[in-house]
Chain A
Amino acid sequence: MSAMVLCAALPGLDPLTGGEVLVAQNVAFAVIGLTMVAAALRMVTTTNVVHAALYLVIVLAGAAGLFILLGAEFVAVTQVLVYIGAIVVLFLFGIMLTRGSYGTDEDVGRERHLMAALVGVLVLGVTAGSLVDTFRDAELARSAPSTAAQIGDSIFGQYIVPFEAISVLLLAALIGAVVVARSD
Chain B
Amino acid sequence: MLLNQFLLLSAVLFAIGVYGVLARRNGVLVLMSIELILNAVNINLVSFAAFREAVPGEVFALFVVAVAAAEVGVGLAMVLLLYRNRRNIDLTEIDLMRG
Interface residues of A: mostly helix, strand, loop or mixed?
helix
CB pair B29–A105 under 8 Å, yes or no, is yes
Q: Which residue, A115, A119, A140, has most C-beta atoms of chain B within 10 A?
A: A140
B3→A135 contact, CB < 8 A: yes
A-B contact count (CB 8 A): 253
Please, what's the 1-or-0 string for A74-115, where 1 marks a CB less than 8 Å from any CB in chain B?
110011001100110011011101101100010010001101
Find the A residue at minimum CB distance from B32. Answer: A56
Residues of B within 8 A of A15 (CB): none
Size bracket of the B interface: 35 or more
Known pairs A59-B39, A127-B14; A43 contacts B19 (CB<8 A): no
Given A67-B46, A70-B50, A100-B88: A75 in contact with B19 (beta carbons within 8 A): no
Task: Pick from A29, A123, A135: contact of B15, CB below 8 A.
Answer: A123
What string of 1s and 0s marks CB contacts (under 8 Å) between A106-142 and chain B?
0010001101110111011001100110011111111
Q: Output the least CB separation between A115 and chain B (Å).
A: 7
Q: What are 14 A-B pairs with beta-carbon distances under 8 A?
A: A36-B9, A44-B20, A56-B35, A67-B43, A70-B6, A75-B42, A75-B46, A79-B65, A113-B23, A123-B14, A124-B12, A136-B4, A138-B4, A141-B53
Spell out A's residues near B (CB within 8 Å): 22, 25-26, 29, 33, 36-37, 40-41, 43-44, 49, 52-53, 56, 59-60, 63, 66-67, 69-72, 74-75, 78-79, 82-83, 86-87, 90-91, 93-95, 97-98, 100-101, 105, 108, 112-113, 115-117, 119-121, 123-124, 127-128, 131-132, 135-143, 146, 150-151, 153-155, 158-159, 162-163, 166, 169-170, 172-174, 176-178, 180-181, 183
Q: Which residues of B contact A (CB under 8 A)?
A: 1-9, 11-20, 22-29, 31-33, 35-36, 39, 42-43, 46-47, 49-53, 55-56, 58-59, 61-63, 65-74, 76-81, 83-84, 87-90, 92
